[in-house]
Amino acid sequence: MYTADRKLFLLTSILISISILMSYSLTTYTVILFDTGEFHFLIRQAAFGVLSISIMWFLAQLDSDVWLHRLGLTLLIGSMFLMIIMPFLPASLVSEVGGAKRWIKIVGFSLAPVEFFKIGFIYFLAWSFSRKLGYHGGMGIKQEFLRFLPYAVIFVAIMFIIAFVQNDLGQVVVLGLTLLFMLMFAGSSFKFFLVLLFSAFSFFAFFVLTAEHRILRIKSWWSLAQNSILQLLPDAVASHLRVPSSTEPYQIGHSLNAIHNGGIFGVGLGDGTFKLGFLSEVHTDFILAGISEEFGFIGVLTVTVIFLWILQRIFKIANRSEDSVNYLFSLGIGLLISFAFLINAYGISGLAPIKGISVPFLSYGGSAIIAASIGIGMVLMASKKVNMDKKRFND
C-alpha cells in the first residue's frame, strides 16, 4: 500500500489559498453593494477553504476499496434527489435566480446540488463503464449504440433537469464533454465517438434555439468573434456567416479591459480598478480577469501552470491505476476540471460564450469548492493503491 499523492494535495491547497486571498482583494465594491462587513467574503471563503482542505486530507486516509463506491453512489443519489425536489420546495428554502431554483438554503449557506451531482455522476460512469463496456472489438456503430443506449437515456433525463428545470446549460456542456471522452477511454471506437460528438452538438444547438436569451447570447458573441474566424474561410462562405456587429457585451468588455490593464506584471494586489463596480462580482465567474488585472500575465500563467500540474498528477494516477474504476474515475475528475477551466477562460476572454461555469478551486462559493475537493479527495484515496514504478509518489 502506498501513500496518497502529496503533490496533488499540496497543489490543490495552493489554489484554494489563492482563492481565499482573492476573495478579499476582489470584493472591495461588493461588500459595499451588499452592505456587508469588510471581511465577510474573506471569512466565508476561508471557512470553505479550510473545510475543503480538511475533506481532501480526510478522504485521502480512507480505503478506496470500501469508501469510493459508497461515497460515489451517495453523492449521485443524494444530489439527484435534491435536484428533483427543488422546484417543489417553498421559496423560504431555495434561492431563485432568473426563474431557476439552483440553491437550497441551509443555515446561512446555499447548497448547489448540481456541483455534488457532477462528482457522483463521474463515479457512476466509471463504475458502470468498467462493468458494462470494454474494447469495442470491431463492433459496428449499431452494436456500440445499443450498448450505449441506457447511458444516453440517463443523460437526456439529466439534461432535462439541469438545462430546463435549473436553466443551467453550461453544466450540461461540461458533463456531456466529460461523458464523451470517458466513453472513448472506456473502450469505444473513435468512429462512434465522432458520431456522439456530432449528436452532442445537435442537442446543444437544440437547447440554444429553444431559449431566446441563449440565442441573443450566441449572436452577441459571434458578432465579436466572427472577424478572427471568418478571415480563415473563403469570402463566398464568410459573407453568408457574417452578422452585423453589435455593442460589446458589458461583462466581456470590462473583462477584456481588466486583462489589458494588467499587462505583464499586473497593477498589484488590491489595486485593480475594474472590480470597483465595472466588472460585477469579479470574485466568482470572472476571477481569472481579476487575477489578470492585479497580477498580470505572470499571475494567470502561474495559476494555469498549477492547474496543468494538478491535471498531470491526476492523469498520472489514472494511467498507473490497475483498477478500471479508479482509472476511469480519476480520468473523469481530470476531464471535469479541464473543461470547466477552459470554458471559463475562453468565456472571459471573448473566445466563447459566457456559460456561468466557475473556475475550480478559485471562484468564490462553498458548494463548488467543497464538491471539487471531494472529487480530489476521492482521487487521493485511489492514488494510495497506485504503484508508481515501485516508488512512492513523493520519492
| DSSP state letter for 34 | T
At residue 105, the 3 state secondary structure works out as strand
* Cα separation values, 83 from 112, 160, 333, Å: 9, 11, 21
**Given this model, what pLDDT does residue 263 score?**
92
Number of Cβ atoms within 10 Å of the Cβ of 31: 16
Check if the beta carbon of residue 136 is closer than 8 Å to that of residue 189. yes
Q: Where are the beta strands (DSSP E) in 147-223?
A: none
Cell numbers found for residue 223: 458578432
| DSSP state letter for 86 | G
Under-50 pLDDT residues of the chain:
247, 388-390, 392-393, 395
**Given this model, what pLDDT does residue 157 score?**
85
Short-list 355, 377, 344, 356, CA closest to 116:
377
Sorted by where each begins, the domain ranges of the chain are 6-383
**Given this model, what pLDDT does residue 249 score?**
59
pTM of the model: 0.86
> Residues near 64 by Cβ (< 8 Å), separated by ≥ 6?
323, 326, 378, 381, 382, 384, 385
Short-list 290, 332, 374, 313, CA closest to 48:
374
**Given this model, what pLDDT does residue 99 score?**
58
Summarize pLDDT for 39-86 with one digit per residue, the tens: 999 999 999 999 999 999 999 999 999 999 999 999 999 999 998 888
Check if the beta carbon of residue 345 is closer than 8 Å to that of residue 259. no
**Given this model, what pLDDT does residue 388 score?**
47
**Given this model, what pLDDT does residue 228 score?**
60
**Given this model, what pLDDT does residue 395 score?**
47
b/e code 87-120 from CB counts within 10 Å (16+ = b): eeeeeeebeeeeebbbbbeeeeeebbbbbbbbbb
